[in-house]
Amino acid sequence: MKRVVVLTGAGISAESGISTFRDSGGLWEQYRIEDVASPEGWIRDPRLVTDFYNQRRKQLLEVSPNYGHKGLVELEKYFDVHIITQNVDNLHERAGSKNIIHLHGELTKVRSERFDNLVYELTPDKYEVKIGDKCERGYQLRPHIVWFGEAVPMLGEAIKLTETADIFVVIGTSLNVYPAASLVHYVPEGKPIYIIDPNSIAINNNNWHYIKKVASEGVKELMKIITSTTQ
C-alpha cells in the first residue's frame, strides 16, 4: 500500500464550527498570541490562559468531525494514511483515524508546569482546569500545548514520516507557522503534493496540485484523483 502523509491545520475543523486562527474573525483577532499562547503569557497571567483553554475545551465538546476528517478515515481503505496535525482538537481521533501525530499538543491533556513527563488526560465530565489543580508532585497543571517559543517535541517523528511519503497532502493550514510549515521541504523529490484550501496560502509552488475547496469537498476530490491514478 502506498503511504499518504497528511498535514492538517485549523481549516480542516472549520466546517465543524471551530474558527481558524488567521482568517477574518479568527482567534488571533480576538486574543493576543503573547497573552494566551506563550510561556511569558502563562507566567504573567495563568488564570487568563487557563480560562482560554477551558473555553476551547468546552467548545470541543459541542462539535463533531466533518467529512474532511471522515474522508481521511475512508482513505485508509486504499492507502497507508498518516496524519500530522497542528490542531489541538481531537476531531481526527473521534472520526476514527488510526495514525495521528499532534505537533502542537492536545486540548484534552494537561501536564505539570515543572515536569513535562507528567501528562494527564481530561475527561468530558471534568474538562475544566483551575488554578490550584496540581500534578502528583505539587506543581500547577498547564495546558499540554506547544506555545510559541517552545520546542516542538514531535517534530523529529513528523519529519521522518514525511520523508517516507508517496503522496503528501496539506489541508487547511496557512503554512505561516514554523517548523510545521517546513515539513513540505522533507517530501521526497518527485512525490506529488496536494494542497486543499479554499484560499491562497503563504507558499506557492508551481509543482504542487491545488484543490481550491473547503476540506469536506476537497478530500472527496483528492480521493477521486489519487484512487484513480495511484495505488
Give the residues lining the site for ligand OAD (CB under 6 A): 9-11, 14-15, 20-23, 26, 37, 86, 104, 146, 148, 172-174, 176-177, 197-199, 201, 214-215
Measured from the CB atom, the residue of 3 and 22 that comes closer to ligand OAD is 22
Q: From the candidates 104, 144, 185, 209, which is the catalytic residue?
A: 104
The C-alpha cell that represents 15 in the structure block: 466546517
Measured from the CB atom, the residue of 138 and 151 that comes closer to ligand OAD is 151
Q: Can you name the residues that pair with 167 across neighbouring β-strands?
A: 4
Measured from the CB atom, the residue of 123 and 199 that comes closer to ligand OAD is 199
User: Which DSSP letter does residue 67 get?
Assistant: H
Minimum CB–partner distance for residue 66 and ligand OAD (Å): 8
Minimum CB–partner distance for residue 80 and ligand OAD (Å): 23
Minimum CB–partner distance for residue 138 and ligand OAD (Å): 27
CB distance 196 to 169 below 8 Å? yes
Task: Determine the residue with CB nearest ligand OAD.
Answer: 11
- Let me know if 102 is a catalytic residue: no
Kindly tell me the burial class for residue 195, based on how many C-beta atoms sit within 10 Å of its own C-beta (0-12, 13-18, 19 or more): buried
Measured from the CB atom, the residue of 110 and 146 that comes closer to ligand OAD is 146
Minimum CB–partner distance for residue 7 and ligand OAD (Å): 9
CA angle 35, 36, 37 (to 5 degrees): 110
Shortest CA distance to 92 belongs to which of 172, 13, 181? 13
Q: What is the dihedral of CA 88, 93, 97, 99, to 10 degrees?
A: 60
Distance CA 228, CA 215 (A): 20
Instruction: Point out the residues that are catalytic.
Output: 104
